[in-house]
């Protein structure tokens, strides 16, 4: 690796500096960890914003609703996730997912299949979600949202697997605007 003794001697001092610097950084980190853990513990006791609460709110399109290719609409990801959340103290799920929902109908209302909704509400899903969050303030976590597939689905030709690139870009920009 080294051609002569001078190369080795030139390498050693810089290696020592790196090792000393690294060691000092580790010691500093170890000195700060107990304080950081204490502060973190105090903050988590004062305000428990993270983690499962009493209610789980699921929002979105047919995937949130529970659409399955075998037409079993009661074993989608929301149902599976809620089943797991129950072991963490979550008591109920409000699944507002609507089959066929787009970002536009999510915001403005007009779910294509309102009679299929698992959780009853009127108007736009976003407004219903805000009302739900206000009603159960501090008791809702997690909230999941999947939306956007129906905004882009018509840009794909299912028979040829081709994408209408121009329309896709336009629809993607609209989706981005709606979600922002």
CA distance 155 to 67: 21
pLDDT digits over 134-162, tens only? Answer: 999 999 999 999 999 999 999 999 999 99
d(CA 141, CA 70): 30
Mean pLDDT score of the chain: 81
Look up residue 8 and give its two tokens.
């080795």
- pLDDT level of residue 71 (50, 70, 90 thresholds): confident
Alpha-carbon separation of residue 46 from 42, 88, 139, 141, 175 (angstroms): 6, 20, 16, 17, 38
């Amino acid at each position: 690796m080294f051609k002569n003794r001078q190369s080795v001697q030139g390498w050693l001092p810089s290696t020592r500096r790196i090792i000393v610097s690294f060691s000092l950084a580790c010691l500093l980190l170890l000195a700060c960890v107990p304080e950081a853990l204490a502060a973190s513990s105090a903050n988590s006791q004062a305000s428990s914003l993270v983690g499962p609460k009493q209610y789980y709110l699921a929002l979105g399109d047919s995937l949130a609703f529970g659409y399955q290719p075998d037409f079993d609409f009661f074993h989608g990801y929301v149902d599976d996730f809620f089943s797991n959340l129950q072991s963490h103290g979550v008591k109920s799920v409000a699944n507002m997912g609507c089959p066929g929902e787009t970002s536009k109908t999510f915001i403005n209302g007009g779910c294509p299949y309102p009679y299929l909704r698992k959780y009853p509400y009127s108007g736009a899903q976003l407004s219903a979600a805000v009302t739900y969050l206000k009603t159960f303030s501090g008791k809702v976590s997690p909230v999941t949202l999947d939306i956007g597939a129906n905004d882009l689905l018509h840009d794909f030709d299912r028979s040829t697997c081709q994408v209408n690139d121009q329309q896709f870009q336009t629809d993607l920009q609209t989706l981005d605007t709606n979600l922002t």
